[in-house]
Amino acid sequence: MITNWWRTITNRAFTGGQKRVPVTPVWIPKTEGKRIKKCNICGGKTHFDLTRPIDNLRETEVCRQCHAIMRNMDVAQVLLLKASLALTTSLREAGIILGQMNILELAHGGAIGGVLLDVPGYQSSEYFDDVEPGACSAAGIRCEDVQALTFPENHFDFVISQDVFEHVPDIKQGFSEIWRVLKPGGYHVFTIPYHRNTPHSVVRAAMVGSEIKHILEPAYHGDPVRSEGALVFTDFGQDIRVILTGLGFDVELYEHYYPAPSGGYNVVFCTRKAQRE
């Protein structure tokens, strides 16, 4: 049985309205607890073992070809949807169409970047402590601080970020910068660790001048750039939707409930740059 595990919450959710949308990846059930799925990033066929004893499939590697994990594929699915591309295709197959768009990913070297690297309008960046924003590292990776992007305004059709904003000290400034560089009608498709049952976001750390002030016990996430990990500044709760709306975005949340027995949950935020009055 093919199940729709997706649902979306729009701004109407603030008043209690919710709806399900058919954004279902094509899952083909198989015996022995495994399913075969077409990877929506590289286009390869991949096996997805549903019987692993883990808590949340969000971080589980699914594709053995491009090493995409589930949340990468969730982001790709919303990207395909918002680019008006067939949901049965993949980013690799859609490369010619995506190449006509300007896309910024606030990370370098992930599964999505791996297949879009040679697409003309695609750019990726990382934040390095020791590289001037706008310049490139010794490895040729562009440095960008999302709180002060060096790109012109109204430039990108899509900005992608995956588990980045919990590490940004000033989230309002960061999201405002995304708003600035997006074209009117452009989208920021992103994930954050989102505590869906918590009303208010929690600030764990803040910048005071150039010093980090820890408000709660420091928490770090794995970081390909920093061996010590990346400090978490914010634990996000429901009020992030209000913050984003206040900055001028139309906000949609695409929720993905992963199937039993492992289960788990992911949400992809899709914010659209609305015209300011």
* Residue 251 sits in the site that holds Zn ion (CB under 5 A): no
Contacts of 233 (CB under 8 A, 6+ apart): 166, 167, 168, 169, 171, 203, 204, 205, 206
Q: Which range of residues in 59-67, 141-149, 181-189, 257-265 is near Zn ion by CB under 5 A?
A: 59-67
The dihedral sign for the CA sequence 127, 128, 130, 136 = negative
Least spacing, CB of residue 70 vs Zn ion, in Å:
12
Residues 65, 238, 245, 262: which binds Zn ion (CB under 5 A)? 65
Q: Specify whether the CB–CB gap between 58 and 47 falls below 8 A.
A: no
* Residue 63 sits in the site that holds Zn ion (CB under 5 A): yes
Least spacing, CB of residue 194 vs Zn ion, in Å:
24
CA atoms of 98 and 103, how far apart (whole Å)? 8
Quickly count: other Cβ atoms within 10 Å of residue 17's Cβ: 10
Q: Which helix (H) or strand (E) holds 242?
A: helix 239-246
Least spacing, CB of residue 68 vs Zn ion, in Å:
5
Q: Which is nearer to Zn ion, 27 or 175 (CB)?
A: 27
* Residue 205 sits in the site that holds Zn ion (CB under 5 A): no
Least spacing, CB of residue 48 vs Zn ion, in Å:
11
Q: Which helix (H) or strand (E) holds 159?
A: strand 156-162
Q: Specify whether the CB–CB gap between 40 and 52 falls below 8 A.
A: no
* Residue 66 sits in the site that holds Zn ion (CB under 5 A): yes
Q: Which is nearer to Zn ion, 115 or 231 (CB)?
A: 115
# binding residues, Zn ion (CB under 5 A): 8
* Residue 79 sits in the site that holds Zn ion (CB under 5 A): no
Least spacing, CB of residue 18 vs Zn ion, in Å:
31
Q: Which is nearer to Zn ion, 19 or 47 (CB)?
A: 47
Nearest alpha carbon to residue 112 among 43, 24, 180, 49: 43
Contacts of 51 (CB under 8 A, 6+ apart): 33, 34, 261, 262
Q: What track of x and - describes contact with Zn ion for positions 29 through 58 (by CB under 5 A)?
A: ----------x-xx-x--------------
* Residue 81 sits in the site that holds Zn ion (CB under 5 A): no
Contacts of 37 (CB under 8 A, 6+ apart): 25, 26, 27, 28, 45, 46, 48, 62
Q: Which range of residues in 62-70, 141-149, 216-224, 255-263 is near Zn ion by CB under 5 A?
A: 62-70
Q: Which is nearer to Zn ion, 65 or 176 (CB)?
A: 65
CA atoms of 233 and 173, how far apart (whole Å)? 14
Where does this chain bind Zn ion (CB under 5 A)? Answer: 39, 41-42, 44, 63, 65-66, 68
